Structure formats: C-alpha cells, structure tokens
C-alpha cells in the first residue's frame, strides 16, 4: 500500500512532494485506523464497539437499548434508537471483523466528507493533517464521532451542491443518532428553496423516527425514545455533579473556579447568543467564506457546549478548526492558536499521568479552552465586516444553494 502512495509522487505537479497529496493524507488516516484496530485485537479492547453492536441484538429481542449489560461490556449506550439499525451491517460479523469494518467506515466517511468541502486541494490537505491528533483519539475509542462529523459536513456541502434532499437526510440522521446534528438546521438560511428544504426535513424525520419499527414493535421503539431522553439527562447530571468527566467549556470554567454550582443554562444561553450573532449579516449569506465560517461554528459549538463531550468527540470540532485555519487571514492568530490547540488536544496529562489527570478535572477540561478561543475568533470574523475586506478582492467560489 505504501509503495502505491509513493508511486503516485511521479504523477504530482512539478515541485510537489508525496506528502503534499491527498492520497498520502488518506494513507496516514487509514494507517492510524489499522494501528488502533490491531491494538484492540491484541489487547482484546472492544468495549465501546461491543456497546454499539449489542444495540442491534437488543433491538431484535426488544430489550432496553440503554440498560447496563455488565456481562457483555462496561458503561451503556447513549445513541438514538436508529443507531441500532445503522450498526446492524457490522454487528452480523465476528467482533474482530466488525470492529475493523466499523473503524474503517468512520475513517473513510469523514475523509470523503472533507473532500466535498468547497476548498482548494491544498486546503483540504491541510484540514486532513490538522485532524490527525483527534483522529487518533476517535479510532482509539472506536466511536461514531467521525461519522457524526461527516454527517454535519455533508449537511452543508450537499446543500451547497444543490442536493437539499440529501442534506436534510444528513441533518435528521445526525440528530436522531447523537443530537449534535440538529445545529445543521442553520443551513436553512443558505437554501434558496426554503419550503422544499423544510418539507424534506419533516419527511426524513418521520422516516428515521419509524425506521427501527421495521425490526421491533412500535410500542417498544416509542418507549426507547423515552429511555434515550432519560439516559441523556442522567449522563448530563452525572457529569455536572462531578461523577463523570465534564470537558465542555462549562466544565472548564467550573473546574477553573472550583465552583460546581455554575449553571449550564447561563453559559449555554450566552453561547447560543454568540452563535446567532453572525446571522445579522444577511448580505453575506451567499458568500462562500461566510458559509464556511458558519460551518466551522456548527462543528465546534455543539461539542464545546455539551457536558457529554469526551476527548474523542473533538474529531468533530477539529474539522471546523481546520476550515477556520485555511480561511483565516490573520497569520499571527493562526500561528498562535493552532499549535496551542493541537498540543492541548494531544491530552498529555491523561496520557502520561492518568491518575493525576483524573483527580484534577482542570487538567482534562482544559482541552475545550483553545477550541473556545478559536470559536470566538470564528464568531468575531463572521460577524464584523472588517473580516471581509480581503475577500472582496478574491474571486468568489461559485455556490448553488437550491433544492
């Protein structure tokens, strides 16, 4: 496989190296994925994957999707009922094959989503390299976060490519699996045929809501949605009260000031207000750079303000950071923020001193702070006109936002 990627160097434009090619970035992504799959095989570390694939059997036998099953795995499922249908093609295989296919699926799905972004080839390569530290965390933890991030990216890029029907599906599917996808609804403002887009959202919502009923009874599925709500509320309460690790920006400030009583509602309200500020610029809605800043905000915001976020969840946000980086005009800002963010993202305290890190919440919660700074920069850039002066001299990339 390596020989293939090295051989492609011969077809590159003059002066370009093999590592300046998207195929080499894909090779690195796949290599990372395979390394951690093999590590899981050797160490028999399947826990997260077992949680996921067990939801399919629970759906078949109409057992609770959110109960603890200590005989099979630690912890419990927190994804929506439709996830048990999504995992079905992987669950039919033996665990070691299923895990391999599952991680490769998430790796390729996110990589392909990045390739659909309206960026130059060099910019896509930069995003791919920037994502590597978080990709490692995601593959190590066997999570769906890479897939969730891909759905959020595609909810924008498919709309951008005049495919509103599939954009709506990505938004609805992402929402019904992990809730994060709901922020993709803001892309409604970029659609020319808003009525059509809303109708597709409603239609797909009905389809995805009913999909598990092809396998289980309606009463069981309806009760599962109630159980899902309760499981998310319970997980949020555990994290806020200190029973879990809250690395959201709310958790960071609670740990920084050693004050557990700082309410989520206060910071969430402020975050939502800041998130909505750029939308005062109605005249910028058709601008490529503005849309990409909104996409970056959409990818960072739900992770940053989720008490259920984990270090492996930031694979979603790091794509937003990458998009911001390749579009940011302030070189000083780029040279300061990105290295700090990538260094903290590597989570060295947990890696080198796990006992110390787990007993000092701030050493873990600090991971959200550089993302918060980048997000504030994105909000500022998308809100104030000073950001757009340089853009006026550049050719605008063509975007067709019709349904």
pLDDT at 368 over 80: yes
| Percentage of the chain modeled with pLDDT above 90 | 67
Query: Lowest-confidence range among 6-20, 243-257, 293-307?
Result: 6-20
Sketch the domain layout of the chain as residue ranges: 19-215+235-387
Q: What local confidence, expressed as pLDDT, does residue 307 receive?
A: 84
Find out whether 205 and 184 touch, Cβ atoms under 8 Å.
no
pLDDT at 244 over 70: no
Q: What local confidence, expressed as pLDDT, does residue 1 receive?
A: 47
Cα–Cα distance measured from residue 274 to residue 290, given in angstroms and rounded to the nearest whole number? 15
Q: Which residues contact 38 (CB under 8 A, 6 or more apart)?
A: none
Query: Lowest-confidence range among 24-28, 279-283, 386-390?
Result: 386-390
Cα–Cα distance measured from residue 338 to residue 320, given in angstroms and rounded to the nearest whole number? 12
Q: For residue 140, is it left (φ>0), alpha (ψ between -120 and 50) or beta? A: alpha
Query: Lowest-confidence range among 55-64, 185-194, 386-395?
Result: 386-395
Q: What is the CA radius of gyration of the chain?
A: 21
pLDDT at 243 over 70: no
Q: Over the range 340-372, which residues count as b (16 or more CB within 10 Å of their CB) and which as e?
A: ebbebbebebbeeeeeebeeebbbbbbbbbbbb
pLDDT at 395 over 70: no
Cα–Cα distance measured from residue 52 to residue 198, given in angstroms and rounded to the nearest whole number? 31
Q: Which residues contact 27 (CB under 8 A, 6 or more apart)?
A: 1, 2, 5
Cα–Cα distance measured from residue 209 to residue 178, given in angstroms and rounded to the nearest whole number? 13
Q: What local confidence, expressed as pLDDT, does residue 372 receive?
A: 96
- The model's pLDDT over 261-308, given as tens digits with 9 standing for 90+, comes to 788 888 899 999 999 999 998 888 888 999 999 999 999 999 999 888
What mean pLDDT comes out for the span 84-111? 96
pLDDT at 221 over 60: yes
Q: What local confidence, expressed as pLDDT, does residue 242 receive?
A: 59
Comparing C-alpha atoms, which of 67, 50, 81 is closest to residue 220? 81
Q: What local confidence, expressed as pLDDT, does residue 389 receive?
A: 40
* CA distances (Å), origin 44, targets 61, 77, 94, 95: 26, 20, 13, 10
pLDDT at 394 over 80: no
For residues 185 and 192, the model is more confident at 185
Cα–Cα distance measured from residue 156 to residue 186, given in angstroms and rounded to the nearest whole number? 9
Global pTM?
Answer: 0.90
pLDDT, averaged across the chain: 87
Q: What local confidence, expressed as pLDDT, does residue 251 receive?
A: 87
- The model's pLDDT over 125-165, given as tens digits with 9 standing for 90+, comes to 999 999 999 999 999 999 999 999 999 999 999 999 989 99
- The model's pLDDT over 331-351, given as tens digits with 9 standing for 90+, comes to 888 999 999 999 988 876 666
Joined tokens for residue 64: 């609770």
Cα–Cα distance measured from residue 288 to residue 382, given in angstroms and rounded to the nearest whole number? 11
Band of pLDDT at residue 13, cut at 50, 70 and 90: low
């Amino acid at each position: 496989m390596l020989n293939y990627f090295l051989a492609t160097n011969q077809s590159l434009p003059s002066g370009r190296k093999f590592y300046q090619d998207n195929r080499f970035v894909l090779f690195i992504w796949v290599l990372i994925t395979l390394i951690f799959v093999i590590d899981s095989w050797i160490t028999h570390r399947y826990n997260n994957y077992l949680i996921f694939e067990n939801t399919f059997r629970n759906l078949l036998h109409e057992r609770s999707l959110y109960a603890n099953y200590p005989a099979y795995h630690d912890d419990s499922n927190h994804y929506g009922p439709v996830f048990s249908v999504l995992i079905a093609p992987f669950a039919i295989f033996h665990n070691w094959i299923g895990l391999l296919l599952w991680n490769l699926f998430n790796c390729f799905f996110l990589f392909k989503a990045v390739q659909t972004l309206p960026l130059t080839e060099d910019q896509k390569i930069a995003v791919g390299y920037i994502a590597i530290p978080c990709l490692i965390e995601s593959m190590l933890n066997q999570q769906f976060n890479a897939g969730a991030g891909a759905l959020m990216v595609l909810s924008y890029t498919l709309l951008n490519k005049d495919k509103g029907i599939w954009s709506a599906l990505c938004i609805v599917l992402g929402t019904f699996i992990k809730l994060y996808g709901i922020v993709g609804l803001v892309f409604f403002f970029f659609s020319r045929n808003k009525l059509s887009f809303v109708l597709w959202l409603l239609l797909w919502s009905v389809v995805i809501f009913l999909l598990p009923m092809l396998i289980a009874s309606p009463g069981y599925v309806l009760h599962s949605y109630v159980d899902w709500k309760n499981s998310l509320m319970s997980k949020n309460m555990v994290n806020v009260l200190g029973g879990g690790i809250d690395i959201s920006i709310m958790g960071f400030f609670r740990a920084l000031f050693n004050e557990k009583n700082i309410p989520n509602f206060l910071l969430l309200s402020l975050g939502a207000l800041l998130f909505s500020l750029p939308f005062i610029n109605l005249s910028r809605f058709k601008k490529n750079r503005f849309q990409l800043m909104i996409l970056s905000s959409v990818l960072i915001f739900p992770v940053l303000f989720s008490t259920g976020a984990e270090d492996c969840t930031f694979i979603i946000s790091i794509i937003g950071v990458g998009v911001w980086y390749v579009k940011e005009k302030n070189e000083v800002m780029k040279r300061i923020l990105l290295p700090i963010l990538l260094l903290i993202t590597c989570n060295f305290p947990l890696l080198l001193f796990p006992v110390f890190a787990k007993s000092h919440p701030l050493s873990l919660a600090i991971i959200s702070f550089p993302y918060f700074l980048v997000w504030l920069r994105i909000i500022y850039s998308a809100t104030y006109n000073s950001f757009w002066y340089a853009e006026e001299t550049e050719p605008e990339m063509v975007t067709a936002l019709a349904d």
